[in-house]
Amino acid sequence: MRTPPVLAAALLCALLPAAPATAFPVEPSESGPDGLDHPRGGTGPEGSEVAFAFRDPRISESSGLAPSLRHEGVWWTHNDSGDHPSEVYAVDGEGRTLATVTLGLERRDWEAVSVVEGPDGTPSVLVGDIGDNFGGGWPNVRVYRFDEPEVVADALVEPAVFTLTYEDGGRDAESMMVDPRDGRLYVASKEFSGGLYAAPETLEPGGEHVLERIDSVPLFATDAAFGPDGTRYAIRTYWGVTVYDSTEGVPGSALGSFDLPESDQGESLAFTPDGTALMVGTEGPDAPVWRIPLEERYLAEEPVREEPPAEEEGGTVGPEARSALPFIVGGAAVAALVITGIVLLARRG
């Protein structure tokens, strides 16, 4: 009996071993909600230590982190998608929840938070409803802004809502950062060929805004943040972080990359208020937040840059992409073998 080509393809796929999508010198964790095996990372740079762990059982999927500009030692965080209320939490340096700010609106997938001074000098909290578990299925994404409270206490607010659309079609993203020098907002998409997108210089509540792609980013970026003076920014993935020099503007140039401490699903990133270290967090109940000191070469006025990565059409190939290349090629070989098998089986009978 002649084997239908579709059935042949299914049989071949079942018999062939699955090629891993990426190759990194790290231990993979269990599959996350996006269906991917999340590498755990390494031990982190020398001096890395757990700064605190969240104590509030409501904070079980912390996906963003940002330091307060009004209250020393206070950090803002939130959960992402799932069965969570539309709340942002203020926590102290011991991980204790000090206040809950409830946003009176529907949430989709909150993935990032930033705190920045507005044009009038008033600190504002921006929450990025930019996640998309449907891989770009949402027609647009949203950012919510409210004034940072003068008093750390429970509150109900109605934030300003900014709607943004990618110039090249929908994207999943978990990384948002705001340049403290001019208030411009940037989003990094979470993809193999991820991009850094710039919002318009001015955002108007209720208006439509286009996100313009300006550069490439490391694959599977999960958060991003500017340093306090805007001359540095960092983008993290599940397993590591890349630091950039933005002294002359964004996108700037990469200064180097390093592993982050092992975690189940690394999500959040923020600079400390003095800009000398990074704070990185993960999802899960009682999740730890690590303090990662930055080497002097990342802080110097004349930073020492690593050798630039190889260039290819479409942007810079980062270390993660170069590590994944053998498996991408291997995947292509497997696909070619499947197609050849389909042709041979289709010719029988």
pLDDT band at 301 (very low <50, low <70, confident <90, very high): confident
The pLDDT tens digits of the residues spanning 133-188 come to: 777 788 899 999 999 999 999 999 999 999 999 999 999 999 999 999 999 999 99
Tokens, residue 15? 């018999």
Is residue 220 over pLDDT 80? yes
SS3 345: helix
What does the alpha-carbon distance between residue 8 and residue 130 come to, in Å, rounded to a whole number? 40
CB 115 within 8 A of CB 70: no
Q: What is the pLDDT of residue 81?
A: 80
pTM of the model: 0.78
Q: What is the pLDDT of residue 307?
A: 60
Amino acid code (one letter) for 171: R
Region of poorest pLDDT, from 82-86, 156-160, 312-316, 336-340: 336-340
pLDDT band at 309 (very low <50, low <70, confident <90, very high): low
**Contacts (Cβ under 8 Å, ≥6 apart) of 327:** 19, 20, 21, 22, 23
The pLDDT tens digits of the residues spanning 8-43 come to: 333 333 333 333 322 233 333 444 444 444 455 578
Residue 206 φ then ψ, to 5°:
85, -10
